[in-house]
Amino acid sequence: MALPENKDSQIKSKKVRGLLQSTGLVGIMTLLSRVFGLVRDVVVANLFGASAGADAFFIAFKLPNFFRRLFAEGAFSQAFIPVLSEYRRTKTEREVRLLANSVAGVLGAILLVVTLLAMLGAPWLTAIFAPGFLEDAQKYSLATEMLRITFPYLLLISLTAFAGSILNSYGYFAIPAFTPVLLNLVLISAAIWLTPLFSEPVVGLAWGVLIAGMVQLFFQLPFLLKMGLLPRPRLDYRHDGVKRIFRLMLPALFGVSVSQINLLLDTILASFLQTGSVSWLYYSDRLAELPLGIFGIAIATVILPTLSRKHASKSDQEFSDTLDWALRIILLMGLPAAIALIVLAEPLVTSLFYYGELTQQDVFMSAQSLRAYALGLLAFMLIKVLAPGYFSRQDMKTPVKIGIWAMCANMALNLILIWPLQHTGLALATAISSWMNALWLLQGLVNQNIYRRSKGWGVFILRILLANVVMISLIYWLQVPTENWFEMDVWSRVSSLTQLVAYGVSTYFIVLLLSGLNLKSMLGGAIKH
Per-residue pLDDT tens over the stretch 363-372: 899 999 999 9
Kindly state whether residue 203 falls inside one of the protein's structural domains. yes
pLDDT per position as a tens digit, 263-272: 667 777 887 8
Q: Per-residue confidence at 117, pLDDT binned at 50, 70, 90? A: very high
pLDDT of residue 214: 95
Kindly state whether residue 526 falls inside one of the protein's structural domains. no
pLDDT of residue 511: 93
pLDDT of residue 216: 93
pLDDT per position as a tens digit, 288-304: 887 877 777 777 767 76
pLDDT per position as a tens digit, 471-488: 999 998 988 888 888 888
pLDDT of residue 508: 93
Q: How many domains does the chain have?
A: 1
pLDDT of residue 253: 65
Q: How far apart are CA 136 and CA 141, in angstroms?
A: 9
Kindly state whether residue 27 falls inside one of the protein's structural domains. no
Q: How far apart are CA 487 and CA 239, in angstroms?
A: 63
Q: Which domain holds residue 113?
A: 46-256
Mean pLDDT on 212-217: 94
pLDDT of residue 522: 57
Q: Under a CB-based contact definition with an 8 Å cutoff, are residues 407 and 465 in contact?
A: no
DSSP for 430-459 reads HHHHHHHHHHHHHHHHHHTTS--PPTTHHH
How many residues are listed for the chain in this entry?
529
Kindly state whether residue 348 falls inside one of the protein's structural domains. no
Count CB atoms within 10 A of the CB of residue 474. Answer: 17
pLDDT of residue 264: 67
pLDDT of residue 3: 36
What is the 8-class DSSP label of residue 313? Answer: T
What is the residue-averaged pLDDT of the chain? 82
Tell whether the model's pLDDT for residue 15 goes beyond 70. Answer: no
Q: How far apart are CA 244 and CA 226, in angstroms?
A: 29
Q: Per-residue confidence at 109, pLDDT binned at 50, 70, 90? A: very high
Q: How far apart are CA 226 and CA 363, in angstroms?
A: 47
Q: Which of 237, 103, 202 is nearest to 161 (CA)?
A: 103
Mean pLDDT on 408-433: 90
pLDDT of residue 466: 95
pLDDT of residue 369: 93
Sequence-ordered list of residues with C-beta below 8 angstroms from that of 144, at least 6 positions apart, any chain: 122, 123, 126
Alpha carbons within 13 angstroms on the beta-carbon side of residue 309 total 14
Tell whether the model's pLDDT for residue 427 goes beyond 80. Answer: yes
Which sign, positive or negative, has the C-alpha torsion 160, 165, 168, 173?
positive
Tell whether the model's pLDDT for residue 458 goes beyond 50. Answer: yes
What values do phi and psi take at 294, rounded to 5?
-65, -45
Q: Which of 390, 337, 367, 346 is nearest to 79 (CA)?
A: 390
Q: Per-residue confidence at 66, pLDDT binned at 50, 70, 90? A: confident
pLDDT of residue 442: 93
Instruction: Identify which has the larger pLDDT, 291 or 30.
Output: 291
**Percent of the chain surpassing pLDDT 90:** 26
Q: For the CA atoms of the chain, what is the radius of gyration?
A: 23
pLDDT of residue 20: 55
pLDDT of residue 119: 92
Task: Please report the beta strands in 101-179, taking only residues with DSSP state E, as ranges in sequence order.
Answer: none
pLDDT of residue 33: 76
Element (H, E) at 74: none
Tell whether the model's pLDDT for residue 74 goes beyond 70. Answer: no
pLDDT per position as a tens digit, 360-406: 888 899 999 999 999 999 998 898 889 888 877 878 788 888 888 88
Q: How far apart are CA 81 and CA 67, in angstroms?
A: 19
pLDDT per position as a tens digit, 226-272: 878 788 888 888 888 888 888 877 766 665 556 566 666 777 788 78
AA identity, residue 364: F
Mean pLDDT on 455-464: 89
pLDDT of residue 463: 93
pLDDT of residue 468: 94
Kindly state whether residue 305 falls inside one of the protein's structural domains. no
Q: How far apart are CA 282 and CA 423, in angstroms?
A: 11
Task: Please report the beta strands in 51-165, taking only residues with DSSP state E, as ranges in sequence order.
Answer: none
Q: Looking at 160-169, 376-385, 497-506, which range is the least confident one?
A: 160-169
